[in-house]
Structure 1
Amino acid sequence: MEVKAVATFACEVVKREFELIGQSITANFPQAFPDAAIKIQMDFEKRIDDIENCKNKQVLISPYMCNDIVATYFACVEVEGLTETPEGMIGFKLPMMNYAKISCSNKTIDQGYSKIFSWMGENGYKQKWYDKSFPIEIFYLDEGAEEEVVEILIPIQ
């Protein structure tokens, strides 16, 4: 049986935009994390079927904002247009932007952050701070899998 690596730690620059619908949670940082993030993701997964124009229910997109006092963390899916947002959810568009991207897993996410910031420094990239941007975690859900692919996207200038 072939064992394939979930965390490749491959880094690259990608250009993306997102139209998202989801829910968010704001909690003390770092004390309440990752528990707050897991809670909003689990709550949101129960309501994914409420979103009619979802591109892929197996891809959970989690932008976030953090100032080392509190963090707001989103659980979203990408949609085809922001036409109808279910009650209790938020819809928003993240404009086209360059991101530094790394592929890791839900079990190696801390290593992923260390490696992407090292790679950015080595290659002369600086993080863009919240000017129409968010860092993003993308989870590729695999029902029953212990380890799932995660991509970390850091907006760069």
Structure 2
Amino acid sequence: MDIQVVEKNELKVVGISWNGTYAETNTIPSLFTELEARLNEVAYQTKEPILIAPFHSRETEFTYYVTTPVEKIENIPEGMVGFTIPRKNYVCATHKGRPEEVENTYLQLLKWMKEYGYEQDLNALSLEIYPEANKHLNASGNLHYDIYLPVKQYR
């Protein structure tokens, strides 16, 4: 797995939010379907063909968003949220494989961070970025998306 440290510029996003326990994560795929059905409602979308899924994980639950990048946050559709993700440094890698293998990808990222002296910034949002070009792979269960874990220090 190719792991690297990158700096991402500020991102403005609009989309759907969800909060629940880890046992309820099977509902997350429906958020993608819901947002895709409502994308025409989101004003000022960028031309970047991706969906961005920022999330906060906590010990017993987490908050997950399925969003689309926008140029400005105005006219947010009912039932959606809009916010800015600040410029940040991340350790990133691409997950390729079955949904059951996602946890292993995260564990490899965390192990790499520890080996190279990076500390995860638990106060910042982690990101999953889903390029439109991989939509058919993801729908077939062969997931292919980028994972970004925020770090406190940058080497």
Q: TM over 0.5, yes or no?
A: yes
What's the TM-score, normalizing by structure 2?
0.84
Q: In the alignment, which residue of structure 2 is the partner of 1:6?
A: none
Is 2:125 the counterpart of 1:134? yes
Match of 2:45 in 1: 54
2:136 counterpart SS class = coil
Q: How many residues align?
A: 145
**Is the 1:109–1:150 contact (alpha carbons within 8 Å) kept by the matching residues of 2?**
no
C-alpha distance in structure 1 between counterparts of 2:49 and 2:110, whole Å? 27
Aligned residues of 1:100 and 1:120 also touching (Cα < 8 A): yes
Gaps of 5+ in 2: none
TM-score normalised by length of structure 1: 0.83
Structure 1 residues 39-74: Cα deviation after superposition (integer angstroms, max 9, x where no partner): 222211111121132124741111111223221110
Q: Which residue of 2 aligns with 1:113?
A: 106
Q: State the Cα deviation string for residues 94-118 of structure 1 (Å, max 9, x = none).
A: 1111111111236242232121111
The 4+ residue runs of structure 1 with deviation greater than 2 A are: 105-111, 141-149
Matched, 1:11 2:6: no
Check whether the contact 1:140–1:148 (CA below 8 A) recurs between aligned residues: no
Task: Give the aligned residue type for 2:52.
Answer: I
Tell me how far apart the structure 1 counterparts of residues 97 and 49 of structure 2 sit (CA, whole Å): 15
Change (3 A) 1:135 1:94: same
Distance of 1:92 and 1:98 partners within structure 2: 18
Find the partner of 1:153 among 140, 148, 151.
Answer: 148
Contact 2:43 2:74 in 1 (8 A): no
Question: Could you tell me which amino acid in structure 2 is paired with residue 152 of structure 1?
Answer: I
1:63 aligned partner: 54
Q: Partners of 2:130 and 2:58 in 1: how far apart?
A: 23
Distance (whole Å) between structure 2 residues aligned to residue 112 and residue 76 of structure 1: 22
The amino acid across from 2:33 in the alignment is: M
The aligned residue for residue 85 of structure 1 is 76
Q: Cα–Cα, structure 1 residues 117 and 143, in superposed 2: closer, same or farther, change >3 Å?
A: closer
The structure with more helix, counted as a fraction of residues: 2
Residue of structure 2 equivalent to 1:3: none
CA RMSD of aligned residues (A): 1.7
